[in-house]
């Protein structure tokens, strides 16, 4: 009864809500969200620097998240590179002095907080010619005015950045009197034009006063109340913002420190000065404000302008625009033709006459329709991760953000289960299920930022290895059984693997190696193909006649293993091979192939393990050693129970080892050799019991069929800033944002999968003569792409 109710319920859901209707809903959601964000940008402004300087929240205890953009954590070398030959001046009281120290420590962490507290403090890094000065002016008075006035003179070198602010001393010295506030207003009014003049050539920031923790203030500071501080801040904001009559003030208000202080002032030692972590956050915000537009870090979207379109991107936009126009023209003509061929009524008999029309869809229509859809999807990709239309946020890992979604998908996966069509080991439904749940776990791992937690990282490395294991197993099995080494098969696989990535490289202006998993799978597919296709071609049909051929195949595999070991321990030889043009254009990242070597080496043996497992399994299957009937254990009861016990122990042993890892580098070194233990243990646990082999999760299998598209699409339309952050479609509600962005992301991935399949049938025909012509066109396309890419690289340099 339960099964019947489940099937009826599923049929009812599918009747009212199909994949097609889901995609329509996703399209409507994208259009509405884009319109809302455009309206918001027009109303609130498009300057993310303002958000960085004025708003944000804490993720956890110490991670600051600016509103709508991502903040980069600058390293010493990056800070020096940005500030080379620059002069930064801090003017103000002890709070500004604290900010000065925190800023300098980004450049030189060994700089000590010592010297005359009520005097000027200089800092200079002679190697990078960075000069940072603190000028002691605790009150907004004539002394501060004179200091600023000197810089306005044409003959004097001006600081590139000026950070000023003061008020608490005025409150303290004058015992919080109203006369002092009036004098403060007069003084800041006289300074405002000078600051505005400086702001035309330098970056000028006025730091608003942070709140105090009144309970901790000493007796001689009790008059410094938050009410007084708010009054002084209001005066500063109103005067500085109205210093120019007809335009917006160039002096920027640094008000974000107030928000930071509200959360952390209770940790203050004296109630007045902020704890060190808060000062470091404010200093890092200043660094982001100035340096992001210079260094353009990927994970520092605040204050970064939209990158200019490259020549290749402009050509791609023209191509997709023409495809959309062409499809619309084709659709209109086809629709008019269809109307003319509508059934008409016979006046004599009163019956409908049906015209004979060809209802088959032409390849040209499929081609135009596919590129039309792809063009619209690529526009969404660009809007999400290049156009700064939607917001982005930094990742922040907590155990709950990773493990709770894992539990959710596990429950859903168990709930949606069905019987398999066949009960062989690693049958199609089972491998789709395996890919599906692994892909969902990897997605949760990426969006939760779980790479910072080493035990989770090591288990995710096994899942990536398991994908490559399936690559070795699947392709070896196909070539071994079918013996199809034709060019059509190779082109089909290469097209399906690489089509989306090539399009994204063009549209998003990213190198091929950036999407590292696809190059990895592509290269390993070619390695498997070459290994088996080279003379002597040994396939199952030939080997069945003579056991000698099995030995020959094992020799081939042994030679492959020898080559893998040589390249793994000879980085120089590996880099020479992949640094050759045009391979270098595919495998270089940031000017070298080290990243590619690291990725390849990390899972260097697992594809070989997959091939070897496939060979042993198919040999045992051929000799009928395995019992693969429905409900039957794979081996005899004793052997099955023994292998199950060994598998469970091995699985848990690996998990314990991975969970006790202390050093990522050391664990990565061992990973290639030991990852296969957990993979094989999982396969045996999943396949030895007959009942486990006879069912699969249709929920996971559905995602498994689009796992490659999900893995690639996440880079730009689920995550953000090339996977460094999170895409924010609905600000202020993280849970709703994840639900909506995930729904759109999955719909897009599914549609791209269908587009790829449709285009593969047209672009890679079965007829060899037609295929060779298409390959010549594809080769010409890539040659043109390489030439344009070289022109772009030269223009950039």
Q: How far is it, in rounded angstroms, from Cα 314 to Cα 185?
A: 53
- List, in sequence order, the alpha helices (H) in 108-225: 142-152, 168-173, 178-198
- Distances from the Cα of 187 to the Cα of 45, 136, 184, 239, angstroms: 31, 17, 5, 10
User: 251 and 196 in contact (C-beta within 8 Å)?
Assistant: yes
Scored b (16 or more CB within 10 A) or e, 650-672 reads bbeebbebbeebeeeeebbeebb
For the question of residue 270 being annotated catalytic, the response is yes
For the question of residue 154 being annotated catalytic, the response is no
User: 272 and 225 in contact (C-beta within 8 Å)?
Assistant: no
Q: How far is it, in rounded angstroms, from Cα 509 to Cα 502?
A: 10
Identified catalytic residue from 47, 270, 484, 767: 270
Identified catalytic residue from 67, 137, 273, 750: 273
CB count within 10 Å of CB 403 equals 14
CA atoms within 13 A on the CB side of 64: 31
- Distances from the Cα of 45 to the Cα of 70, 300, 647, 712, angstroms: 17, 19, 59, 32
- E runs forming strands in 548-670: none
Q: How far is it, in rounded angstroms, from Cα 18 to Cα 258?
A: 50
User: 140 and 184 in contact (C-beta within 8 Å)?
Assistant: yes
Q: How far is it, in rounded angstroms, from Cα 54 to Cα 255?
A: 5
Percent helix, percent strand, percent coil in the chain, to nearest 5: 65, 10, 25
Cβ-defined contacts of 759-767 (< 8 Å, 24+)? 759/367, 759/370, 759/495, 759/499, 760/492, 760/495, 760/496, 760/499, 762/363, 762/366, 762/367, 763/495, 764/488, 764/491, 764/492, 764/495, 766/488
Strand order, beta sheet including 161-165: 121-125, 130-136, 87-92, 161-165, 203-207, 252-254
Q: How far is it, in rounded angstroms, from Cα 600 to Cα 513?
A: 11
Q: What angle do CA 567, 570, 571 make, to 5 degrees?
A: 95
User: 643 and 688 in contact (C-beta within 8 Å)?
Assistant: yes
For the record, the structure tokens of 592 come out as 């070298």
Q: Using CA atoms of 507, 512, 518, 520 in order, give the dihedral in degrees to the nearest 10.
A: 180
Q: How far is it, in rounded angstroms, from Cα 13 to Cα 15?
A: 5
- On the question of a cis peptide bond just before residue 159, with omega within 30 degrees of 0, the verdict is no
For the record, the structure tokens of 303 come out as 């204050």
Q: How far is it, in rounded angstroms, from Cα 704 to Cα 504?
A: 21
Identified catalytic residue from 40, 54, 94, 177: 94
For the question of residue 67 being annotated catalytic, the response is no
Q: Provide the phi-psi class of 689: left if phi over 0, else alpha when psi is between -120 and 50, else beta.
A: beta
Residues labelled catalytic:
94, 270, 273
């Amino acid at each position: 009864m339960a099964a019947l109710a489940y099937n009826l319920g599923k049929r009812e859901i599918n009747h009212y809500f199909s994949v097609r209707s889901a995609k329509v809903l996703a399209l409507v959601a994208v259009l509405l969200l884009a319109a809302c964000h455009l309206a918001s940008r027009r109303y609130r402004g498009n300057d993310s620097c303002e958000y960085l300087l004025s708003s944000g929240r804490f993720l956890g205890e110490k991670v600051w998240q600016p509103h709508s953009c991502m903040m980069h954590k600058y390293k010493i070398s990056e800070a020096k590179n940005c500030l080379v030959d620059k002069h930064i001046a801090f003017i103000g009281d002890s709070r500004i002095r604290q900010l000065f120290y925190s800023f300098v420590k980004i450049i030189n962490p060994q700089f000590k907080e010592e010297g005359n507290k009520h005097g000027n403090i200089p800092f200079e890094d002679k190697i990078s010619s960075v000069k940072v000065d603190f000028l002691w002016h605790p009150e907004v008075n004539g002394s501060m005015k004179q200091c600023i006035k000197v810089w306005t003179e044409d003959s004097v070198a001006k600081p590139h950045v000026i950070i000023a602010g003061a008020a608490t001393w005025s409150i303290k010295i004058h015992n919080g009197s109203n006369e002092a506030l009036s004098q403060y207003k007069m003084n800041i009014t006289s300074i405002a034009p000078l600051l505005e003049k400086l702001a035309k050539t330098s970056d000028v920031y006025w730091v608003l006063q942070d709140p105090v923790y009144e309970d901790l203030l000493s007796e001689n500071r009790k008059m410094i109340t938050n009410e007084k501080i708010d009054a002084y801040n209001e005066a500063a904001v109103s005067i500085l913002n109205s210093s120019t009559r007809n335009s917006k003030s160039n002096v920027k208000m640094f008000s974000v420190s107030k928000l930071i202080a509200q959360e952390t002032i209770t940790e203050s030692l004296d109630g007045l000065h902020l704890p060190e972590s808060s000062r470091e956050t404010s200093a890092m915000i200043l660094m982001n404000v100035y340096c992001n537009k210079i260094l353009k870090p990927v994970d520092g979207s605040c204050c970064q302008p939209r990158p200019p379109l490259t020549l290749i991107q402009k050509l791609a936009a023209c191509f997709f625009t023409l495809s959309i126009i062409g499809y619309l023209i084709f659709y209109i003509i086809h629709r008019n033709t269809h109307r003319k061929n509508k059934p008409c009524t016979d006046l004599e008999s009163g019956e409908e006459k049906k015209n004979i029309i060809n209802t088959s869809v032409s390849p040209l229509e499929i081609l135009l329709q596919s590129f039309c859809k792809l063009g619209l999807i690529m526009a969404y990709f660009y809007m999400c991760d290049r156009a700064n239309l939607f917001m982005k946020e930094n990742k922040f890992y907590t155990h709950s953000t990773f493990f709770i979604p894992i539990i959710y998908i596990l429950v859903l996966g168990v709930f949606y289960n069905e019987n398999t069509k066949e009960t062989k080991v690693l049958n199609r439904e089972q491998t789709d299920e395996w890919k599906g749940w692994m892909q969902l776990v990897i997605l949760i791992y990426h969006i939760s930022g779980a790479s910072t937690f080493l035990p989770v990282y090591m288990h995710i490395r096994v899942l990536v290895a398991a994908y490559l294991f399936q690559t070795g197993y699947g392709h070896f099995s196909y070539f071994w059984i079918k013996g199809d080494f034709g060019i059509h098969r190779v082109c089909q696989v290469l097209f399906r693997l690489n089509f989306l990535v090539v399009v994204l490289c063009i549209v998003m202006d990213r190198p091929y190696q950036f999407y590292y998993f696809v190059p990895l799978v592509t290269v390993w597919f070619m390695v498997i193909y070459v290994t088996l296709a080279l003379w002597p071609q040994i396939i199952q049909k030939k080997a069945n006649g003579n056991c000698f051929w099995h030995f020959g195949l094992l020799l081939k595999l042994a030679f492959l293993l020898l080559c893998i070991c040589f390249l793994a321990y000879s980085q120089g030889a590996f880099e020479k091979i992949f640094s050759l043009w045009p391979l270098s254009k595919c495998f270089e990242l940031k000017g070298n192939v080290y990243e590619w070597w690291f990725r390849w080496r990390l899972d260097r043996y697992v594809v070989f393990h997959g091939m070897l497992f496939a060979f042993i399994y198919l040999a045992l299957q051929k000799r009928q050693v395995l019992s693969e009937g429905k409900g039957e254990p794979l081996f005899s009861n004793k052997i099955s129970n023994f292998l199950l016990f060994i598998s469970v122990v091995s699985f848990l042993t690996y998990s314990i080892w991975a969970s006790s890892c202390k050093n990522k580098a050391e664990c990565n070194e061992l990973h290639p050799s030991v990852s296969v233990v957990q993979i094989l243990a999982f396969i045996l646990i999943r396949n030895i019991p007959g009942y486990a082999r006879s069912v699969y999760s249709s929920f996971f299998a559905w995602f498994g069929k689009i796992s490659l598209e999900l893995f690639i699409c996440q880079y730009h339309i689920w995550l953000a800033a090339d996977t460094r952050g999170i895409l924010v479609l609905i600000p202020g509600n993280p849970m709703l944002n994840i639900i909506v962005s995930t729904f759109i992301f999955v719909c897009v991935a599914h549609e791209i999968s269908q587009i790829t399949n449709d285009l593969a049938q047209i672009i890679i025909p079965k007829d060899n003569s037609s295929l060779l012509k298409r390959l010549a066109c594809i080769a010409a396309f890539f040659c043109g792409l390489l030439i344009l890419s070289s022109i772009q690289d030269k223009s950039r340099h």
